[in-house]
Amino acid sequence: MFEKQQLIDIARTPMPFGKYAGCPLIDLPEEYLLWFSREGFPSGKLGQLMALALEVKIEGLEGLITPLK
């Protein structure tokens, strides 16, 4: 399922570029993450964390992340 460190990372890692630069990954709009899902997530850890943030949002589990911020 989810690893604790990954959940901490999506709560605390800021988006490094674009319209939402500086925004924690978990706070990115779902539509924005869905766009990346269709067009391709960035390579590496950032892309993996963005995909996880989308999965958390789709499953309605954002409440798990709130205490980690």
What percentage of the chain carries pLDDT values higher than 70? 99
pLDDT at 15 over 70: yes
Find tokens 């490094």 and name the residue.
16
Query: Mean pLDDT throughout 44-59?
Result: 96
Residue 1: predicted pLDDT = 63
Query: Mean pLDDT throughout 18-29?
Result: 97
* Burial classification of residue 26, based on how many CB atoms lie within 10 Å of its CB (0-12 exposed, 13-18 middle, 19 or more buried): buried
List, in sequence order, every residue forming a beta bridge with 24; answer none if it has no partner: 14
Q: 47 CB contacts (<8 Å, ≥6 apart)?
A: 36, 41
Residue 3: predicted pLDDT = 87
For 24, the 3-state DSSP assignment is strand
Token pair recorded at residue 36: 């990346």
- Stronger pLDDT, 61 or 1, i.e. the higher one: 61
